[in-house]
């Protein structure tokens, strides 16, 4: 018999996230839990339809149900008193989504790495993080950026990442006041508004640092991440580039400001954790 596509323990984190992403409660019957969760993990049709030893039960269903039972019994992460068929996170369960115990994180990581190394035919690559929220999507896309080192460093900018970030920001500038934008929204033929993206650490800087051997892999990862990008209107984009004295990005204030303090622009963050600290901002902050 084929082994399980994922074990009960490896499923703890994805299952908690799945319930959390559905408002903290799912109806076991109505939410098409089994397929939706399998989709999220990239399981194949074959893995979803395998039967347990003896052929009496669906293996995927058993894994999900036993995983839920353990989260209830051992972690008290799922409510014991909710009505039949309702899986509801307890306060403890919610806290576990925010700060998962390390053994749970480790199980998921192990599963993911094993699967990446031996990806079954027809399976989709496993998700980097087990949640389906916008933030996760952007993190995943950041991970997908490629690195090419030739004569100098070439960074293949991921147009898809910039596009996704503009979408998530609903085409609104992060420097404009929503109710009184400095640059009036520019409607386009497809119904969206025109906005640009600005890379906080640019390519020239990356290349220079690389040539001096100053760029570590973690720094590289940060440079090519969504934490290095802000969504801006054309007015503010040119302001950042051409204002004199120069406007410097100050991450711990989420602002651009001149060294003399004469001008300052606050950045509006509309996505949780966007622009969180990265290694390239090191320098004591
Ligand atoms: Zn603006
Ligand atoms: Zn720019």
Q: Which domains does the chain have, with CATH numbers?
A: 12-131 (1.10.10.10), 141-281 (no CATH)
CA-to-CA separations, 276 to 32, 139, 158, 222, in angstroms, rounded: 35, 12, 19, 10
Spatial CB neighbours of 26, under 8 Å, sequence gap ≥ 6: 18, 19, 33, 86, 87
Phi-psi region of 172 (alpha: psi -120 to 50; beta: other; left: phi over 0): beta
Helix axis angle for 102-117 and 12-21, nearest 10°, is 100
Beta-bridged to residue 255, according to DSSP, are 250, 266
Considering every ligand atom, which ligand is closest to the CA of 169? 1
Considering every ligand atom, which ligand is closest to the CA of 230? 2
In the block, tokens 């040539």 appear at 211
Task: Return residues with CB closer than 5 A to ligand 2 (ion).
Answer: 198
Q: What does the block give as tokens for 138?
A: 């952007």
Considering every ligand atom, which ligand is closest to the CA of 173? 1
Are the C-beta atoms of 187 and 210 separated by less than 8 Å? no
Question: Does the reported pTM lie above 0.95?
Answer: no
Considering every ligand atom, which ligand is closest to the CA of 232? 1
Are the C-beta atoms of 226 and 274 separated by less than 8 Å? yes
**pLDDT given for residue 16 in this prediction:** 94
Determine the distance separating the centroid of ligand 1 and the alpha carbon of 145, expressed in angstroms. 27
Determine the distance separating the centroid of ligand 2 and the alpha carbon of 197, expressed in angstroms. 7
Considering every ligand atom, which ligand is closest to the CA of 177? 1
CA-based R_g, the chain, Å: 23
What is the biggest distance separating any 2 CA atoms in the chain, rounded to whole angstroms? 76
Q: What does the block give as tokens for 224?
A: 């090519």
Spatial CB neighbours of 250, under 8 Å, sequence gap ≥ 6: 256, 257
Considering every ligand atom, which ligand is closest to the CA of 198? 2
DSSP letter string, 204-265: HHHHHHHHTT---HHHHHHHTSGGGEEEE-HHHHHHHHH-SSPPEEEGGGTEEE-TTSS-EE
Determine the distance separating the centroid of ligand 1 and the alpha carbon of 246, expressed in angstroms. 17
Q: Where are the beta strands (DSSP E) in 28-94?
A: 86-88
Determine the distance separating the centroid of ligand 2 and the alpha carbon of 251, expressed in angstroms. 16
- pLDDT tens track of the chain, all 285 residues? 467 899 999 999 999 998 988 888 988 876 578 888 888 888 898 999 999 888 888 999 999 999 999 999 999 999 988 888 899 999 999 999 988 999 999 999 999 889 888 888 877 777 777 776 667 777 766 766 555 444 344 455 566 788 889 988 889 999 998 888 899 989 998 888 999 999 888 766 666 776 676 766 666 666 678 888 999 999 999 999 999 999 999 988 999 999 998 899 999 998 888 888 654 544 322
Q: Which helix (H) or strand (E) holds 239?
A: helix 234-242
**Backbone φ and ψ of 27, nearest 5°:** -95, 110
Helix (H, G, I), strand (E, B) or coil at 101: coil
């Amino acid at each position: 018999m084929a082994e399980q596509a994922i074990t009960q323990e490896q499923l703890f984190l994805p299952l908690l996230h799945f319930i959390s992403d559905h408002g903290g409660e799912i109806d076991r019957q109505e939410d098409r839990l089994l397929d939706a969760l399998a989709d999220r993990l990239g399981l194949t049709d074959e893995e979803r339809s395998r039967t347990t030893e003896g052929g009496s039960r669906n293996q995927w269903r058993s894994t999900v149900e036993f995983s839920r039972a353990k989260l209830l019994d051992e972690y008290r992460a799922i409510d014991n008193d909710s009505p039949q068929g309702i899986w509801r996170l307890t306060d403890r369960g919610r806290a576990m989504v925010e700060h998962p115990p390390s053994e749970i994180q480790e199980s998921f990581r192990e599963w993911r790495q094993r699967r990446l190394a031996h990806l079954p035919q027809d399976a989709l690559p496993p998700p980097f993080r087990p949640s389906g929220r916008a933030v996760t999507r952007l993190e995943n896309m950041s991970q997908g950026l490629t690195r090419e080192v030739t004569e100098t460093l070439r960074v293949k900018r991921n147009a898809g990442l910039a596009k996704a970030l503009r979408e998530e920001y609903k085409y609104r500038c992060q420097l404009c006041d929503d109710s009184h934008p400095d640059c009036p929204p520019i409607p386009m033929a497809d119904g969206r508004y025109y906005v640009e993206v600005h890379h906080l650490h640019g390519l020239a800087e990356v290349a220079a640092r690389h040539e001096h051997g100053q760029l570590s892999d973690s720094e590289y990862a940060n440079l090519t991440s969504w934490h290095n990008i802000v969504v801006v209107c054309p007015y503010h984009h040119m302001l950042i580039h051409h204002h004199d004295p120069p406007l410097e990005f100050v991450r711990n204030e989420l602002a651009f400001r001149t060294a003399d303090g004469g001008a300052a622009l606050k950045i509006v963050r509309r996505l949780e954790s966007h622009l969180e600290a990265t290694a390239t901002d090191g320098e004591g902050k």
